[in-house]
Amino acid sequence: MTVVFGSELRKERMAQGVSLARLSKLIHYSKGHLSRIETGGKRASLDLARRCDEALSAGGKLLLAHRLAGAGPAPRAARRPSQLPPDTSHFTGRRSQLEQLDLIAAPRPHSRRRAMVLLVDGMPGVGKTALALRWAHRNAAAFGDGILFHDLRAYGPAGRPAPTEELLAASLRALGVDRTAIPEGPAERSALFRTLLDGRHMLVVLDNAASADQVRALLPGTPGCVVLVTSRNRLAGLVARDGAVRLSLRPFAPEESTELLRKVAGPGMGNARPETVTRLAAYCGHVPLALRVLAERLSAAPGTGPEEVLAGMTDPRGRLDLLSCADDMAASVRTVFSWSHRDLGTDLASAFGVIDAAARAGTTERADSAEFSVHDAARLLGMSLGNAMRVADRLYQANLLELTAAGTYRCNGLLTVHVRELAAGLRAQRHQ
């Protein structure tokens, strides 16, 4: 066990350019004693480990190594985690996005000083997880030391993101650390996680992230690893501070939407006319989740053809009912959309009001969608321009609005239907 601490001590000392003689003077232990510890001939005391950690500014790494040396097996177990969930069935489109991820993640050994962080963001239901899993499965063989996967639970039925210390503990167990050797505090767990990934070539997939801080604790500290993050939020801090490269995912192009509908519905699509399929896709807002739910409905109800379903989709009041699965909240569009509203807090009514007012005012040519400028928002709701800018930016950061090339904001058509439904409910509550 002593060899584990000794090797960590030597590695840290060499990295700092500190000789044994210099370290001996700094911590007041003899040079010979330190030499025997580094070679495994002597067991280090807790006092020595603490002094070495402080003298070498190791940030707790040497204390962790000392603890592990006495608590169980060496942490660098031969275990190779392989935690990817199954690939997405009927995966469609996204060829250019997959190629972009390939290009961004390509090894650059002479220019990369830290782990590569890829961020895929986008509105709810747009297929972020599907893209991440497809890319990870395609490139799994390139990560010889394994793949870690975590659902960070930013949005879902639980109602709260996964605690950082829980995610770190799961990662450490997957890397072979005995439960009894896992440190208590999140900072110590994070330090040990980075120590174990040092020198390894691994992929870490962090799905459904809530914030940059939640992700940051799970970032390796050295190159060789790739971290793939998905989030409904734009996570601007992860880009600004941690060098993440963002790929923002948008709804499908019309041809991708119709392809997915036909793939999943299969015989349920029957001999549907091309214009019928095109309109069904448009009423889904070209959102992959909505397209899949609708296609499943068509495949499971052979007596109900595409024309009948289209008639139901034409009415915005019933559209979200048709895009729901009673036995699976994660496959019900209304529910999945609603999970994005929890973070809006006191901005909720204003945010919905902006989109609802813009849609009712007809500031766009597309039915059931809302496109507006901040000046439109201020005028329609009688708020100051500053407040309108703040609310619009909040929605944009949460990927509930797109920013167009003309500088206006646009809400996806299907999301607009949902927002207008909620806005009507809020108005009714105020009048009770």
Identify the CATH assignment for 95-249 out of 3.40.50.970, 3.90.950.20, 3.55.50.30, 3.40.50.300: 3.40.50.300
Position 230 scores a pLDDT of 97
> What are the CA-CA distances from residue 195 to residues 75, 147, 215, 301, 339 (Å)?
9, 16, 17, 54, 35
User: Does 403 have pLDDT greater than 60?
Assistant: yes
Position 340 scores a pLDDT of 84
Q: Give the pLDDT confidence of 92-120 residue by residue, as tens digits.
A: 999 999 999 998 888 765 555 678 999 99
Answer with the residue of higher pLDDT: 109 or 308: 308
User: Does 234 have pLDDT greater than 90?
Assistant: yes
Residues 20-40: what's their mean pLDDT?
Answer: 90
Q: Give the pLDDT confidence of 41-50 residue by residue, as tens digits.
A: 888 888 888 8
Residues 297-322: what's their mean pLDDT?
Answer: 83
DSSP string covering 232-284: SS--HHHHHHH-PEEEEE-PPPHHHHHHHHHHHHGGGGTT--HHHHHHHHHHT
Position 302 scores a pLDDT of 62
pLDDT band per the 50, 70, 90 thresholds, residue 399: very high
Residues 247-252: what's their mean pLDDT?
Answer: 95
Look up residue 166 and give its DSSP letter: H
In whole angstroms, what is the distance from residue 401 CA to residue 393 CA?
9
Residues 390-413: what's their mean pLDDT?
Answer: 88
Position 404 scores a pLDDT of 87
User: Does 86 have pLDDT greater than 70?
Assistant: yes
Position 159 scores a pLDDT of 73
Cross-strand pairs, 151: 207
User: Does 393 have pLDDT greater than 80?
Assistant: yes
Cross-strand pairs, 246: 119
> What residues contact residue 290 under an 8 Å CB cut-off, 6+ apart?
125, 284, 323, 333, 414
Considering the domain 340-431, what is its CATH architecture? Orthogonal Bundle (1.10)
Residue with tokens 């807002």: 285
SS3 177: coil
Averaged pLDDT score across all residues of the chain: 85
Position 297 scores a pLDDT of 86
Position 368 scores a pLDDT of 52
Position 2 scores a pLDDT of 38
Superfamily of segment(s) 2-71: lambda repressor-like DNA-binding domains (1.10.260.40)
Position 3 scores a pLDDT of 41
> What are the CA-CA distances from residue 348 to residues 148, 199, 321, 352, 422 (Å)?
35, 46, 23, 6, 10
Q: Give the pLDDT confidence of 153-188 residue by residue, as tens digits.
A: 998 877 789 999 999 999 999 988 888 888 888 888
Amino acid at 361: A
Answer with the residue of higher pLDDT: 56 or 349: 56
The domain segmentation of the chain, as residue ranges, is 2-71, 95-249, 254-332, 340-431
Q: What is the pTM of this model?
A: 0.79
Q: Which helix (H) or strand (E) holds 49?
A: helix 46-55
User: Does 222 have pLDDT greater than 70?
Assistant: yes
Taking every pair of C-alpha atoms in the chain, what is the biggest distance, in angstroms?
Answer: 86
pLDDT band per the 50, 70, 90 thresholds, residue 123: very high
Alpha-carbon torsion 234, 238, 241, 244, what sign? negative
User: Does 349 have pLDDT greater than 70?
Assistant: no
Position 405 scores a pLDDT of 86
User: Does 74 have pLDDT greater than 50?
Assistant: no
Position 359 scores a pLDDT of 66
